[in-house]
Amino acid sequence: MGERPIGRSVISRDRFSRLFSLGDRNDPSSFAPGLIIGDDDPDFPVSIAPFSSSMDNSTIPSSMKVSTRANLCFPFDSLDTWESSQGLVLPPSLVESNSGEFGTGAELVPVTWNSLHHDQSLLTIGLQPSVIVLTDSPQLSSSLGLLEQALLTIRTNFPSSLIWTPGIGGPDNCALLSWMGVDIFDLARSRQSSSLGVLLSETGPRFPEQSTNEDSSMESQKEMWVRAISATRSAIRDGTLRDLAERQSTSSPRSVEHLRRHDQLSFEISKQIGLSRSSVDFGKKLRCHSFESRGDVTIRNWREAISENYEPPSRQCDVLVLLPCSAKKPYRLSQSHSRFRRAIGNSRAHEVMVTAPLGLVPRDLEDLWPAAHYDIPVTGDWDNDELSIIRRMLNRLVERVGYSTIVNHSGIELLLADRLVIDTRMGESAGSSESLERLQDAISSSFSEDGGETDFSVRQEKIKSISRFQFGSDKWLDDCEIRGRPPIFTITKDGVQMAKWDPRRGRFLLSKSSLETMRELKLLKSVEINPGLDWVGDIFPSMIAHHDRSILVGDEILVIQEGKLLGSARSVAPGWEWPLGPGKLAKSRHRL
């Protein structure tokens, strides 16, 4: 009988990290991220350490065994052991040399930097081993950008496999490595630290504190691991792993380098495949508490979209009003912005908030993710990097849209050639009576008459702007009526409901009646399921014939079968996981 695959289900997702349940999904024995232990390691509960490993170096090439410490493989009736041959491991610097002797295995597959470039067997359709071991992780970790490239390659090509990076994990970086896609950690660094009389803690290696009776024994190292694994799992479940990874990265310069290079590579591949999300559940926060937050894909994609693609409402392309942000999100709920809006008093003025790290947030998009959900310390001071981002975005937006007048109530000094810039702050606070009076006068002098727009037209322009930003077009809204009490709107056409606007989650709740129109206009991404399949539930990997690689978490996607529109589903997994990701990929919404 061949090796059996491990049972794994996704409990929670956070970018490339996964909280997996291992074994029977109805009664899981363990979870990942977790540990793999050897004969000389202290004992851990199976819930923390689901695997054990051993090496046989008596032969060339050496071989490895990994055993489950509980009944994790279907039908969950016994322990399992997987074996693999290590192959010939060349240094990463010899990547151009094809050794021809690669690691082999069925459920336990060793890979190296060299094999990722030359081993054609890794391209086998449907290959999703239980565990992939990046055997030359220590060498890649010491080379500029190689670890990040290797992990992104493995994670996006083997979304269902657990990834182990031997020799580089510790309580001080397991959240960071998990953010980059690693699921399994070993105690190699902890054993080395113990031998040197050092305690490898969540904040990095340090000498034990004698006044509190600390020591560097493996039992003490074990305690650090249990706390670190627990914190990492909890952060994945809560959607706060990025914040924990940023804090862990400060434990060493090398960790900061890994995070920055991972961010850059993620941003580059986000042009081709979906990585993040288009909307979030109510209450979700994007924590931007450190400098490293600025490199996250979610933030960089927002800044690029506003700079290069965003189109403001058609009647708001002449006068741009720059306003400071507020701690309360969306901004319209803050007292300060209520005062700003009363002073402006003209719906033809295009209000844009100036903020870090997003740069610019137009008023019409303030309910969207991440504009309505980011959390950042407010000090009133700007560093040079923040100012550079804001000015670069502003220059590009003004150039594209062609505003003739900029009313600057943000407090930031601006230099815009060939544009009238009116400073309404004059060094004073944004909420002072003098500043607000100057703001009111600047708006009055910029328009020869009042806004002259009905509530309907204002609502319509806002909804159209959101549609252009999310779908790339507002044509589906032609001849539609938009009703409701702000900020919740109902969109109807010829008396039939097409959609609702949900500001709490920043997305359209599309009705069945809108799906054919959205398909004709090619505004929604789609998935095609296998011919002859009776679609009765959610979308799972085995059902997929074709899919759109740019799918984001939260996207409404059309479900197609043999050219026929069956309905829609909402994605719970980003495009890089499709079609081989573990578990449910999209939740059913409408059936026609």
Which of 386, 419, 446 is the C-terminal boundary of a domain?
A: 446
Q: Is residue 554 part of a domain?
A: yes
Which of 426, 446, 466 is the C-terminal boundary of a domain?
A: 446
**Could you tell me if 329 and 252 lie in one domain?**
no
**Could you tell me if 121 and 208 lie in one domain?**
yes
| Alpha helices for 158-217 (secondary structure H) | 174-179, 188-195
CA distance 273 to 147: 20
Q: Is residue 335 part of a domain?
A: yes
**Could you tell me if 319 and 265 lie in one domain?**
no
Pairing assessment for the beta strands 350-355 and 319-324 based on DSSP bridges:
parallel
Which CATH number fits the domain that encloses residue 567? 2.30.130.10
**Could you tell me if 265 and 316 lie in one domain?**
no
CA distance 358 to 361: 7
Question: Which residues make beta-bridge pairs with 502?
Answer: 507
**Contact call for residues 380 and 327 (beta carbons, < 8 A):** no
Q: Measuring CA to CA, how many Å separate 529 from each of 306, 426, 532, 536, 561?
A: 34, 61, 9, 12, 5
**Could you tell me if 261 and 316 lie in one domain?**
no
Which of 391, 414, 446 is the C-terminal boundary of a domain?
A: 446
**Could you tell me if 246 and 357 lie in one domain?**
no
pLDDT score recorded for residue 57 = 83
**Could you tell me if 180 and 68 lie in one domain?**
yes
For 398, other C-beta atoms within 10 Å of its C-beta total 19
**Could you tell me if 318 and 212 lie in one domain?**
no
- Apex CA 351: angle with CA 524 and CA 349, to 5°? 110
Q: Is residue 108 part of a domain?
A: yes
**Could you tell me if 48 and 191 lie in one domain?**
yes
pLDDT score recorded for residue 112 = 94
**Contact call for residues 389 and 359 (beta carbons, < 8 A):** yes
Per-residue pLDDT of the chain (592 residues; tens, 9 = 90+): 689 999 999 999 999 999 999 999 999 999 999 999 999 999 999 999 999 999 988 888 889 999 999 999 999 999 999 999 988 888 888 888 787 788 899 999 999 999 998 988 887 767 899 999 999 999 999 998 999 999 999 999 999 999 999 999 999 999 999 999 999 999 999 999 999 999 999 999 999 999 999 999 999 999 999 999 999 999 999 999 999 999 999 999 999 999 999 999 999 999 899 999 999 887 788 889 888 999 999 999 999 999 999 999 999 999 999 999 999 999 999 999 999 999 999 999 999 999 999 999 999 999 999 999 998 877 767 889 999 999 999 999 999 999 999 999 999 998 787 888 999 999 999 999 999 999 999 999 998 765 555 566 788 999 999 999 999 999 999 999 999 888 889 999 999 999 999 998 899 999 999 999 999 999 999 999 999 999 988 999 999 999 999 999 999 999 999 999 999 999 999 999 999 998 899 999 999 9
Q: Is residue 458 part of a domain?
A: no
From the number of C-beta atoms within 10 Å of its C-beta (0-12, 13-18, 19+), residue 210 rates as exposed
**Could you tell me if 209 and 117 lie in one domain?**
yes
Q: Is residue 304 part of a domain?
A: no
Query: Domain limits at 152?
Result: 8-88+101-269
Q: Is residue 381 part of a domain?
A: yes
Q: Is residue 207 part of a domain?
A: yes
What is the per-residue DSSP string for 346-411? -TTSEEEEEETTTEEEEGGGTTSTTTTTEE----S---HHHHHHHHHHHHHHHHHH--SEEEE-S-
pLDDT score recorded for residue 294 = 92
Structurally, the chain folds into a number of domains equal to 3
Q: Is residue 380 part of a domain?
A: yes
Which CATH number fits the domain that encloses residue 382? 3.40.50.10630
Cis (ω within 30 of 0) for the bond into 110?
Answer: no
Pull the structure tokens for residue 145: 């950008």
**Could you tell me if 381 and 244 lie in one domain?**
no
**Contact call for residues 359 and 325 (beta carbons, < 8 A):** no
Pull the structure tokens for residue 363: 């008023």
**Could you tell me if 405 and 554 lie in one domain?**
no
Pull the structure tokens for residue 236: 């994945």
